[in-house]
Each structure stands twice: as structure tokens, then as C-alpha cells.
Chain A
């Protein structure tokens, strides 16, 4: 069977996902054995911008009108489009201040020089194109990325955990920072896959992987309020990585 033709693309973000891919040093040769990488600007000098692709991996959020055009072009030439990283899946950090007008943000950050480019409120990829599969994380987990490749090469849509970070945290037998230490932990509403890395180092979950399916935001907020956190604190933490997520939007508009 021919190797799938692959492109790796970055919208607006920190290129963290592309760095994770390049950091797969021990596996890079094996990756090249199974994938035919045609486009990967961060890593290669010769890129094919036209060919049809079997898989496009796209990281970053869409924050400029040009990116929307580019993304749609990538979608058109790709059989599968996979969103990589929290920015691509949820909007990420760039979407934190979406309620402020892009013009005002641009003025504040760039001053008059901001005139030369346009910006729109940061959005995840699925706001513009069909996304076939998502690997979230800030950055993505190397193991999840490799597993996704293995499944795709086999011909299957990958399966990644849909449960919450709490589950992984318990399996690591960490002391619960939310229950035992009353810290602002988003583990119960954040999707697993990181093996509760931060929590295993004694740092509460900041929600960088985005919300779990059917996240019970209302209950999480109640729990944190009872522990003495203000709605402002909680809201800021919740909106850091996945502000455009529907569960969060619904919760905060309802209030």
C-alpha cells in the first residue's frame, strides 16, 4: 500500500505542536517509513503546495482572514484534516480575549503599525472547515500523536480518551488537589491524555487540553466557589485555553 501523503501546517500559535513532532527523535525515522511528508514548512525547505494529501495536520488558531482562505485551501486538497493542539481544537490562548474587539487589541499591542494587517476573533479550525479528528493539548502529547499516526496508517480513525483528567490522576494515586488541598483544579472538566502530568508534580490542572465531553461547568464552578474562589478567578481560568468552547459559552451567556 502506498504511504499516505501528509502535510503539516501551522496557523497562528506557538508552533508547539510542530516542535513536539520534531522532538520525536527516536521515532522520526519510523514516521518517515510510514508517512510521505510532502509539506512541513517548519522542518523542510522543499514543500509541495499543490498536491492532493491524504492527511493534513493543522495546528494553531485562525486569527487572520488570510488564514481562513489558506485553511480552506488545505481542506480542499486533503482527504482527512486533523486538528493538532488546543489552539486548533478550541481556539487556545489567542481566543481568551475574543469579547474585546480585534481593532482595540491591535491598537493596544501594535499601535499605528497594526494598520498593516487585519485580524479577526481567534477561532478553532472547526469554525471554518470540517475537522475529521482532533488531538488536543498545549502542546499535544507525543504518545497521542504517534498513536494517532499508527491508527491512520492502519486505516482507522484514532481513538483517544474522552474521560477527564481526574481519572488519570487517580490512576497515578496523586493526592487530590481539589478535595484535599482546595486548589483551583480543572481536572474534573478537562479531557485526559496527559497522564495527569501537572498533578503528578503537585500543580493543579489549568485545563490546557480543553473541556471534556459534556463538561459539567456549573457543578465545577459551584465546587470552586464553595472553596472560596471568586467567579472572576474561576472564569479567567476556565477561559484561558478554550473560551470559544460551546459548554463555556453556554454557561457564561446563561449567567
Chain B
């Protein structure tokens, strides 16, 4: 049959490449930041990605799982994955010693439309573990500081012990070229150096110009509800509110079906969706 796509010499889209765990940084309980480096120097140099994209991580013999990239493409050579020990694959990852080999393929997904977001204000809103994919966008923007107008980060966790990248983010408090708002719901000892209260309270401290602002939101479902309400109150257009969603992205390439939401595949049409997409897709959030 003549009308099929060419298969000769084409890549195997499911082929994981070996990568080495070069650094393991403990974060909060059951969360670690893994620095991975491709074994093959060619792949290492050519591998690039957009903030918001994910990779398929293989633990040899255990299986594969989608993990969002926490590092920024502006800092090549290593890829950082912030992983929560929660399933078979991540449990196997936590058992591995430094220098072990894992499989990686990707990057997958649409990622944030960073070119479109440039020349605008950037409002990054994270709740709990939502910081993992948003950290990539944050550092991308800070490393391309001149391309963006105002950069505001709002992050809320229950207690400070649950804040991912805490020390890295606290060091941003002093930066004058961005506004870093870190809030904890409770601070019983009174030692938290930043805000206290729920994340939506942070809106009181910022001005949102709906004409020139993009919001990137990631967090638990309950947070979406309240944050979206705040953003809509400030007249932010629905297609400028970007959200990162989680589904069972098994193949990453739009074939296996597991991550379908309504008429879309999270792995190729997402994982970044606009709020407008969300309204129009059944069972989105």
C-alpha cells in the first residue's frame, strides 16, 4: 500500500534513552528533585523543551510514568524532575541510588505558549505541588527577564514544611525585578518570613491588568475553583488563563487513549489547557 507514512529509518517513538541520576535533592516529605543527564552526548545536546512539557520516565523493569519537567530549557545539560513517591514507578525511583540509569523519552505535550506570553505580565499561581511544572516557566521567564513585563509568583501551601523549592523561592523575595508572594495557611510559631493565609488572599497585594496579563495556574482542584473566580473577577480573558492538568498519560504520543478528556488527549493537546478549553470539555476539572 502506497499511502502510508514512511517507516524506513524513522525513529521508534516509544524508544526510551538512557539517562543517569546525577543528583538527588530531598525536598519535602516523599518529594525529591532528581537531576538526570542523558548518557548519549548527542541527545544531551539536542534535547530541549518548553516549560510545561513532560517526559515519560522508565524505571527499567517497573514501567513508565509521565513526569512534568521542573527545570528550565534555559539551563541545558541536565533535566530536573520533581517527583512525589506515590505509585509503582515513583516508588522504584526512590529506591535507586545515585548514578543509576533510567529511561527517558520526550519531551511531550504542548507546554506553555511562551512566545505568545512574552511582552506581557506573567502571573504564576501555584498551590501545593503545582509548583513542580510552574518552576520551569518561572525560571524560563526570569532567565529571559527582558522579554516579559511584570512577573508575579503566588504560591500557597498549608504549612511551610510542605513548600516545594522553599529555599530557592525564599531567595527570590529580595529580587526587585519580580514580585514573589509565598503564603502558608498556618504559621503557629510565627517564624514564616512571608505571607500567611490562603493563596487567594494574595490577590489583594497585586494589580492585574487584564489587557496584558497571562496567568499560569497549577494546584489541587479546590484551589482552581477559588483562583479562577479571582481571575475572572479581574476580567482576565478565559483564553489567557492557562492550567496544567494531570491525567494518565501512558504513551505520551496520542495513541494509547488513557489520558483522553472529552475530545482531547492531555498528552498532545495538553497538559496545558486554557480555561476556555476547560469550560468546553466535559469532565475537565
Interface residues of A (CB under 8 A from B): 154-157, 159
Task: Please name all residues of chain B whose beta carbon is closer than 8 Å to the beta carbon of A155 when the two chains form the complex.
Answer: 92, 95
Asked if residues A157 and B88 are in contact (CB atoms below 8 Å), the reply is yes
Task: Please name all residues of chain B whose beta carbon is closer than 8 Å to the beta carbon of A156 when the two chains form the complex.
Answer: 61-62, 88, 91-92
Asked if residues A159 and B61 are in contact (CB atoms below 8 Å), the reply is no
How many chain B residues touch A (CB < 8 A): the figure is 6
CA distance A96 to B95 in the complex (A): 43
Question: Chain B binding site: helix, strand, loop or mixed by DSSP?
Answer: helix
CA distance A156 to B88 in the complex (A): 7
CA distance A57 to B91 in the complex (A): 23
Asked if residues A154 and B61 are in contact (CB atoms below 8 Å), the reply is yes
CA distance A184 to B92 in the complex (A): 43
CA distance A97 to B279 in the complex (A): 54
| Nearest-neighbor residue (CB-CB) of B59 within chain A | A156
Task: Please name all residues of chain B whose beta carbon is closer than 8 Å to the beta carbon of A159 when the two chains form the complex.
Answer: 88
- For chain B residues 81-122, which have a beta carbon within 8 Å of chain A? 88, 91-92, 95
Asked if residues A154 and B88 are in contact (CB atoms below 8 Å), the reply is no
| Nearest-neighbor residue (CB-CB) of A150 within chain B | B61
How far apart are B63's CB and chain A's nearest CB, in angstroms?
A: 8
Contacts A156-B62, A156-B91 aside, 9 further interface pairs with beta carbons under 8 A come to A154-B61, A154-B62, A155-B92, A155-B95, A156-B61, A156-B88, A156-B92, A157-B88, A159-B88
CA distance A154 to B62 in the complex (A): 8
| Nearest-neighbor residue (CB-CB) of B88 within chain A | A156
Can you list 8 A-B contacts (CB < 8 A)? A154-B62, A155-B92, A155-B95, A156-B62, A156-B88, A156-B91, A156-B92, A157-B88
| B20-32 to A contact mask, C-beta < 8 Å, 1/0 | 0000000000000
| B112-150 to A contact mask, C-beta < 8 Å, 1/0 | 000000000000000000000000000000000000000
CA distance A204 to B62 in the complex (A): 35
How far apart are A154's CB and chain B's nearest CB, in angstroms?
A: 5
| Nearest-neighbor residue (CB-CB) of A157 within chain B | B88
Taking each of A154, A156, A159, which has the highest tally of chain B beta carbons within 10 Å of its own beta carbon? Answer: A156
CA distance A157 to B91 in the complex (A): 10
| Nearest-neighbor residue (CB-CB) of B95 within chain A | A155
How far apart are B200's CB and chain A's nearest CB, in angstroms?
A: 38
| B60-79 to A contact mask, C-beta < 8 Å, 1/0 | 01100000000000000000
| Nearest-neighbor residue (CB-CB) of A159 within chain B | B88
CA distance A156 to B61 in the complex (A): 9
CA distance A156 to B95 in the complex (A): 10
Task: Please name all residues of chain B whose beta carbon is closer than 8 Å to the beta carbon of A154 when the two chains form the complex.
Answer: 61-62
CA distance A159 to B92 in the complex (A): 14
Task: Please name all residues of chain B whose beta carbon is closer than 8 Å to the beta carbon of A157 when the two chains form the complex.
Answer: 88
Task: Please name all residues of chain A whose beta carbon is closer than 8 Å to the beta carbon of B95 when the two chains form the complex.
Answer: 155
How far apart are A4's CB and chain B's nearest CB, in angstroms?
A: 14
Task: Please name all residues of chain A whose beta carbon is closer than 8 Å to the beta carbon of B88 when the two chains form the complex.
Answer: 156-157, 159
Taking each of B88, B92, B95, which has the highest tally of chain A beta carbons within 10 Å of its own beta carbon? Answer: B88
CA distance A81 to B150 in the complex (A): 57
CA distance A159 to B61 in the complex (A): 12
Task: Please name all residues of chain A whose beta carbon is closer than 8 Å to the beta carbon of B61 when the two chains form the complex.
Answer: 154, 156
CA distance A205 to B202 in the complex (A): 61
CA distance A154 to B91 in the complex (A): 12
CA distance A155 to B61 in the complex (A): 10
